[in-house]
């Protein structure tokens, strides 16, 4: 069986990117990385990917002066050349237009640091604490035109401890993110969309 070709979109350091690349380094994995693309020149994740012999590309969003459609047309070209079949967003801090998400519908994944549908958007750890939540977590979902609202493919949950801060919560959640995202991608690459659940 041929391996599905995966492109990973990042903006910065890409710890979730590394988790995905390390999982796909197994030749038995149903997917293989074909490109890591960043919207920020000098993003640390680009050099890390290159060290792992994964092709990289950069399309600087600042060159497009707020024209998201033109920016997306520019990133579509290296994705096409790489033969990408699945896109994984891993800390890609750009809002994608409905036109782009529709083109990749059913083939684009993202990880979000909350138990969706709770706390879409930013500052999720602080918002969970402010809401008095007993648990927190992360979600891998398909990307659609509505922010953080696509079909859920996996979730991981951990208990909030007395004295947790947004920083400690984020640090404790990260290892779960690094387990959940590769597990979902592995299943997704085989065509299986059954949800995965992980617990600390």
User: Strand pairing partners for 5?
Assistant: 32
The answer to whether the CB of 86 falls within 8 A of the CB of 107 is yes
User: Rounded to whole angstroms, what are the CA distances from 46 to 18, 52, 56, 143?
Assistant: 11, 10, 6, 23
Which phi-psi region, left, alpha or beta, contains residue 65 (left: φ > 0; alpha: ψ -120 to 50)? left
Q: Which residues are catalytic?
A: 112
Residue 13's region, left for phi above 0, alpha for psi from -120 to 50, else beta, is alpha
Give alpha helix (H) positions in the chain: 15-24, 44-51, 68-82, 98-103, 124-130, 166-189
Contact 195, 155 (CB under 8 A): yes
Q: Tell me if 133 sits within 8 A of 161, measured CB to CB.
A: no
Integer-rounded Cα radius of gyration of the chain: 16
């Amino acid at each position: 069986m041929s391996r599905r070709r995966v492109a990973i979109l990042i903006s910065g350091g890409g710890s979730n990117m590394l988790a995905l690349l390390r999982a796909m380094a197994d030749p038995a994995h149903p997917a293989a990385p074909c490109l890591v693309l960043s919207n920020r020149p000098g993003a640390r994740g680009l050099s890390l990917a290159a060290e792992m012999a994964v092709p990289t590309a950069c399309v600087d969003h600042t060159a497009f002066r707020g024209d998201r459609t033109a920016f997306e047309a520019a990133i579509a070209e290296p994705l096409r050349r790489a033969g990408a079949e699945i896109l994984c967003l891993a800390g890609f801090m750009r809002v994608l237009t409905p036109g782009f998400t529709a083109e990749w519908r059913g083939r684009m994944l993202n990880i979000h640091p909350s138990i969706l549908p709770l706390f879409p958007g930013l500052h999720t750890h602080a918002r969970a604490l402010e809401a008095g939540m007993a648990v927190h977590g992360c979600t891998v979902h398909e990307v659609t035109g509505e922010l953080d609202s696509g079909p859920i493919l996996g979730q991981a949950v951990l208990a909030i401890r007395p004295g947790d801060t947004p920083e400690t919560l984020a640090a404790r959640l990260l290892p779960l993110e690094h387990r959940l995202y590769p597990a979902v991608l592995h299943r997704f690459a085989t065509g299986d969309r059954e949800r995965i659940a992980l617990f600390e």
